[in-house]
């Protein structure tokens, strides 16, 4: 069992050629007792984006703050606080910040999706 606050979670700045201005926080994982699943929060700063990629596992997303785009299987979907999405496995996808403030979302994946 865990009861905590996001502000106390370790921040991991993701870096690479295929992404920009992305921060990840792992909130709940098997380490905290949720066997087989991981809940993360991603923060994309202004002009930030995740890699355009695909993988075998699905994920569930819930937008907490800001405005962005989910590029999913060739279609751009507008997102804002309160939007949610299910991204099936093996579909090309990418999140990008399209606003002038932080774009923040929850991302839940099976354990193998947390790398």
Torsion over CA: 50, 56, 62, 64 (sign)? negative
Q: 23-63: per-residue pLDDT in tens?
A: 999 999 999 999 999 999 999 999 999 999 999 999 999 99
Pick the residue with more confidence: 115 or 113?
113
Provide the residue ranges of all domains of the chain, joining segments of one domain with +: 6-113
| Residue 77, strand partner residues | 70
Residue 73 has pLDDT above 80, yes or no: yes
Is CATH 2.60.120.10 correct for 6-113? yes
Residue 82 has pLDDT above 80, yes or no: yes
User: Whole-prediction pTM value?
Assistant: 0.95
Concatenate the DSSP letters of all residues of 7-72 into one string: GGSPPEEE-STT-EEEEEEEEE-GGGT-TTEEEEEEEEEEEEE---B--SS-EEEEEEESEEEEEE
Closest C-alpha to 21, from 44, 2, 54, 39: 44
- pLDDT over threshold 90, residue 64: yes
Sign of the four-CA dihedral 97, 103, 108, 114: positive
């Amino acid at each position: 069992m865990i009861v905590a606050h996001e502000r106390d979670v370790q921040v991991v700045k993701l870096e690479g050629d295929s992404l920009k201005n992305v921060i990840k926080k792992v909130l709940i994982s098997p380490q905290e007792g949720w066997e087989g699943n991981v809940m993360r929060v991603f923060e994309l700063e202004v002009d930030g984006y995740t890699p355009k990629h695909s993988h075998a596992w699905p994920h569930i997303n819930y937008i907490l703050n800001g405005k962005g785009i989910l590029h999913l299987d060739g279609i751009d979907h507008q997102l804002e606080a309160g939007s949610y999405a299910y991204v099936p496995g093996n579909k090309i996808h990418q999140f990008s910040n399209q606003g002038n403030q932080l774009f923040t979302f929850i991302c839940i994946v099976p354990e193998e999706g947390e790398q």
